[in-house]
């Protein structure tokens, strides 16, 4: 059987959070093309149907909103076979101490607790079905550090730990969990950066230089379709892996993390970001 063949997917329902742009939108489109009945979500009201999938309102930071959206998909389709937890955002490059505790909580509310809320809402139904897939959009920053993006990297490390543990819990109940690990991907991600809320003069220069570097890197970043293809591959795999890198750069970084001595990785990161000059 061909991966993504419409016949296999005919009766499958997918819910993709954060599908108004970028990786979520590309993923929702790819899954729809493969034959899934796809419900994407956005915090903003959906425009008249210009997409190949339905767009439902959802804010993953609100338990009420999560419950309402999951109930709506179940009312419409009676089942959810695939949950793609994609909604997330970053903070513009800044020192860890330039974000207040409130800002630190807020990035966790979306990038980590958003996944926890969605998972808690969907898993009871998947358990009843005795089948389901949960795919979390992580990042290479879930296994590598990122100076001046410490809080974002912390949320993605949390996603890795949660996903791996959850996969062990749910495996015998017919549910599998995977994490997709993209590197830089050309989306609205950097345009949607939240500014650090406690800026310090001490870091003005490094903020400016890292901001410039990031703009250059993002301009040459991977297409979100690369990530969408990997999500589809994980969703269709008979025996899904826990982790999938997406794109050449992410694959290289995973190999580096796995096989290179820690000291070499440490030096490489400092050199790459010119932290000692």
List of residues contacting ligand NAP (CB under 6 A): 17-24, 42-44, 58-61, 86-89, 110, 137, 139, 182, 184-185, 187-189, 192, 221
Q: Look up residue 82 and give its two tokens.
A: 């695939």
| Cβ neighbours around 239 below 10 Å, total | 5
| Degrees to nearest 5, angle at CA 188 with 67 and 27 | 55
Least CB distance from residue 55 to ligand NAP, whole Å? 9
Least CB distance from residue 193 to ligand NAP, whole Å? 9
Instruction: Please give the Cα distance from 275 to 147 (Å, whole number).
Output: 9
- Among residues 189 and 203, whose Cβ is nearest to ligand NAP? 189
- Among residues 20 and 119, whose Cβ is nearest to ligand NAP? 20
Least CB distance from residue 153 to ligand NAP, whole Å? 10
- Among residues 45 and 238, whose Cβ is nearest to ligand NAP? 45
Instruction: Please give the Cα distance from 134 to 15 (Å, whole number).
Output: 10
- Among residues 4 and 24, whose Cβ is nearest to ligand NAP? 24
Least CB distance from residue 159 to ligand NAP, whole Å? 8
Helix (H, G, I), strand (E, B) or coil at 164: helix
Q: What region, left, alpha or beta, does residue 74 occupy, with left being phi > 0 and alpha being psi -120 to 50 degrees?
A: alpha
The count of residues in the chain is 277
Instruction: Please give the Cα distance from 24 to 41 (Å, whole number).
Output: 9
Contact indicator for 119, 85 with CB cutoff of 8 Å: yes
Closest CA to 85 of 110, 57, 49, 103: 110
Helix (H, G, I), strand (E, B) or coil at 218: helix
- Among residues 225 and 268, whose Cβ is nearest to ligand NAP? 225
Least CB distance from residue 202 to ligand NAP, whole Å? 27
The residue at minimum Cβ distance from ligand NAP is: 22
Known catalytic membership, residue 152: yes
Least CB distance from residue 91 to ligand NAP, whole Å? 11
Torsion of CA 261, 263, 264, 265, to 10 degrees: 90
- Among residues 88 and 132, whose Cβ is nearest to ligand NAP? 88
Q: Is the dihedral of CA 126, 127, 128, 130 positive or negative?
A: positive
Catalytic residue, chosen from 152, 184, 203, 244, is 152
Residues marked as catalytic: 152
């Amino acid at each position: 059987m061909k991966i993504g063949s419409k016949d296999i997917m005919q009766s499958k329902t997918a819910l993709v959070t954060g599908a108004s742009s970028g990786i979520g939108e590309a993923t929702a489109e790819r899954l729809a093309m493969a034959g899934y009945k796809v419900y994407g979500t956005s915090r903003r009201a959906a425009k008249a149907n210009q997409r190949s999938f339905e767009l439902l309102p959802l804010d993953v930071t609100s338990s009420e909103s999560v419950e309402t959206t999951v109930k709506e998909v179940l009312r419409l389709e009676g089942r959810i076979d695939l949950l793609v937890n994609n909604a997330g955002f970053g903070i513009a490059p800044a020192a860890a101490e330039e974000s207040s505790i409130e800002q630190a909580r807020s990035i966790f509310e979306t990038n980590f607790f958003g996944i926890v809320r969605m998972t808690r809402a969907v898993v009871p139904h998947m358990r009843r079905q005795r089948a389901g897939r949960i795919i979390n959009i992580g990042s290479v920053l879930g296994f590598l550090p990122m100076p001046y993006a410490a809080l974002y990297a912390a949320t993605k490390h949390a996603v890795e730990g949660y996903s791996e543990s959850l996969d062990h819990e749910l495996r015998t109940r017919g549910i599998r969990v995977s994490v997709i690990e993209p590197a830089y991907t050309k989306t609205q991600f950097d345009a949607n950066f939240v500014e650090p809320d406690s800026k310090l003069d001490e870091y003005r220069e490094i903020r400016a230089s890292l901001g410039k570097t990031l703009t250059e890197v993002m301009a040459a970043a991977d297409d979100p379709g690369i990530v969408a293809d990997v999500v589809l591959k994980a969703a269709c795999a008979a025996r899904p892996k826990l982790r999938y890198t997406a794109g050449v750069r992410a694959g290289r970084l995973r190999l580096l993390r796995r096989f290179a001595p820690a000291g070499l990785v440490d030096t490489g990161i400092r050199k790459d970001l010119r932290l000692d000059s």
